[in-house]
């Protein structure tokens, strides 16, 4: 048997309604917030990710699916969407075309990570990005939007919104050297990876899951306590706006994020109910990214929701399922089938979900068993006799009530019943 690739998962029909529910609900909210959909390719030149996410991050160092195409170009399956959206903004000069730069995008992402509960190698993200505005009120709006999405999905009580501020070009280097000094004094207690991170990307040490590293970093200087005056003001103002909007949050100085493009506010929606992979969504501000990728100096902020993890929470809260077919057509004999098939089509085009038995040699009993199985509300039973008379039998599957309806009036009958 040929199996799916490790970490790549089929989303089977019974799970699809959860994904649809999430995607449709979020799209509805975002359209009201003035966002427009953008669709970007799955493959990009590898530089798109190297120049944005950062060469020393786990994503770029270890987790990218890369390939050489037949023309010899090195490409990568997108591990995230922000870099691709920024590439598209620059390439299409969207800042000159769109009056408001608010985009959303959903689709699969690819990371070569160790698969476990809530962690896949192909997963789905719903991304939200805003460009061109740098105001604390907007940062609060974006964070609030994330919370409102969880609220509208009915899963807000399963998450905790955690916020931090990563400083700017002025204050972050000063904090970095403070952190390196601190980490150097505790070097022997750090894991092998963190010893390496300390030199290449010291903030990432704060994100290490190793219990001993965690104990060390608890005492480490906190970035939000070492912000410059402007960053401190901006962070305070953002939190003020969140209070005005009534959004609950906690400040978590340990949030550093696994991508290098962040500047300023960063945030994560954390759940304690889905195992070790606890971040259901994450994001932050990235004011230098557009410029770093060769575009004009346009600030940005956004987040991505991990759809698989959101589905895990949604399943705790409610059952989402597709609507069952309303009408089942039992047809006994060829004549009945020929008469009913155009009616089934007409009803479907009028928005009434119908199924018809294609094997008209099957007994009435077995056809009615199928009507029960698919949970149809009505069964329309037609045999040769009925066709001759121009009538059919409609059975209400719940009340078991049966009545005769003229075949030529069937469509109108169901339109009225279903109204």
* β strands within 16-170, DSSP E: 36-37, 43-45, 66-68, 74-77, 102-110, 122-131, 160-165
Closest chain position to ligand HAM (CB): 306
Q: How far apart are CA 113 and CA 121, in angstroms?
A: 6
Give the residue with the Cβ less far from ligand HAM, 112 or 182.
Answer: 112
CB within 8 Å of 269: residues ≥ 6 apart? 146, 147, 150, 159, 160, 161, 162, 279, 280, 281, 282, 305
DSSP string covering 10-47, please?
A: ---TTTHHHHHHHHHHHHHHHHHTT-EE----SEEEHH
Task: Point out which residues bind ligand HAM (CB under 6 A).
Answer: 80-82, 111, 113, 119-120, 123, 125, 127, 129, 258-259, 279-284, 302-304, 306, 308-309
Least gap, CB of 53 to ligand HAM (angstroms): 8
Least gap, CB of 418 to ligand HAM (angstroms): 40
Q: How far apart are CA 110 and CA 64, in angstroms?
A: 7
Q: How many CA atoms lie within 13 Å of 69's alpha carbon, on the beta-carbon side?
A: 10
Give the residue with the Cβ less far from ligand HAM, 119 or 348.
Answer: 119
From 93, 109, 77, 102, select the one nearest 294 (Cα to Cα).
93
Give the residue with the Cβ less far from ligand HAM, 82 or 217.
Answer: 82
* β strands within 286-326, DSSP E: 300-306
Strands 160-165 and 265-270: antiparallel
Give the residue with the Cβ less far from ligand HAM, 279 or 354.
Answer: 279
List the structure tokens of 344: 């089934």
Least gap, CB of 112 to ligand HAM (angstroms): 9
Strands 250-251 and 160-165: parallel
Q: How far apart are CA 199 and CA 105, in angstroms?
A: 35
Check if the beta carbon of residue 386 is closer than 8 Å to that of residue 396.
Answer: no
Q: Determine if residue 296 is left, alpha or beta; phi over 0 gives left, psi from -120 to 50 gives alpha, anything else beta.
A: beta
CB count within 10 Å of CB 39 equals 10
Give the residue with the Cβ less far from ligand HAM, 279 or 368.
Answer: 279
Least gap, CB of 277 to ligand HAM (angstroms): 7
Give the residue with the Cβ less far from ligand HAM, 146 or 216.
Answer: 146
Least gap, CB of 245 to ligand HAM (angstroms): 20
**Residue 267, beta-bridge partner list:** 163, 283
Give the residue with the Cβ less far from ligand HAM, 123 or 234.
Answer: 123
Give the residue with the Cβ less far from ligand HAM, 140 or 282.
Answer: 282
Give the residue with the Cβ less far from ligand HAM, 82 or 392.
Answer: 82
Least gap, CB of 303 to ligand HAM (angstroms): 5
Least gap, CB of 305 to ligand HAM (angstroms): 7
Least gap, CB of 80 to ligand HAM (angstroms): 3
Check if the beta carbon of residue 22 is closer than 8 Å to that of residue 314.
Answer: yes
Give the residue with the Cβ less far from ligand HAM, 278 or 341.
Answer: 278
Least gap, CB of 156 to ligand HAM (angstroms): 16
Least gap, CB of 391 to ligand HAM (angstroms): 56
> What CA–CA distances, in Å, run from 212 to 218, 278, 310, 363?
10, 20, 30, 69
């Amino acid at each position: 048997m040929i199996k799916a690739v490790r970490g790549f998962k089929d989303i089977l029909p019974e799970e699809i309604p959860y994904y649809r529910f999430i995607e449709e609900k979020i799209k509805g909210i975002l359209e009201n917030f003035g966002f427009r959909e953008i669709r970007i390719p799955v493959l990009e030149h590898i530089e798109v990710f190297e120049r944005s996410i950062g060469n020393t991050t786990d994503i770029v160092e270890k987790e990218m699916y890369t390939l050489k195409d037949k023309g010899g170009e090195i490409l990568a399956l997108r591990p995230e969407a922000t870099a691709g959206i920024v590439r598209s903004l620059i390439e299409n000069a969207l800042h000159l075309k769109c009056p408001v730069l608010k985009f959303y995008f959903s689709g699969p992402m690819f990371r070569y990570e160790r698969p476990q509960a809530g962690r896949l190698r192909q997963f789905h993200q719903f991304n939200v990005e805003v460009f061109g505005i740098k105001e604390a009120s907007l940062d609060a709006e974006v964070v609030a939007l994330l919370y409102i999405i969880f609220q509208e999905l009915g899963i807000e009580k399963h998450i905790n919104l955690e916020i931090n501020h990563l400083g700017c070009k002025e204050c972050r280097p000063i904090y970095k050297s403070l952190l390196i000094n601190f980490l150097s004094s505790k070097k022997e207690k750090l894991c092998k990876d963190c010893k390496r991170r300390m030199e290449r990307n010291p903030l990432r040490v704060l994100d290490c899951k190793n219990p001993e590293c965690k104990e060390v970093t608890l005492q480490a200087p906190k970035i939000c306590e070492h912000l410059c005056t402007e960053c401190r003001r901006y962070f305070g103002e953002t939190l003020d706006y969140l209070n005005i909007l009534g959004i609950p949050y906690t400040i978590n100085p340990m949030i550093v994020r696994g991508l290098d493009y962040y500047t300023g506010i960063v945030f994560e929606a954390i759940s304690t109910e889905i195992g070790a992979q606890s971040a259901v969504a994450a994001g932050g501000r990235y004011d230098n990214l557009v410029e770093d990728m060769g575009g004009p100096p346009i600030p940005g902020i956004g987040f991505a929701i991990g759809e698989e993890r959101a589905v895990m929470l949604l399943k705790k809260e409610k059952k989402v399922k597709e609507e069952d077919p309303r009408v089942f057509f039992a047809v006994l004999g060829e004549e009945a089938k020929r008469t009913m098939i155009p009616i089934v089509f007409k009803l479907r085009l009028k928005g009434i979900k119908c199924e018809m038995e294609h094997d008209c040699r099957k007994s009435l009993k077995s056809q009615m068993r199928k009507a029960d199985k698919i949970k149809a509300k009505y069964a329309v039973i037609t045999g040769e006799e009925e066709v001759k008379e121009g009538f059919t039998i409609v059975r209400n599957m719940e009340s078991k009530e049966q009545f005769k309806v003229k075949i030529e009036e069937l469509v109108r009958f169901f339109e009225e019943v279903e109204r």
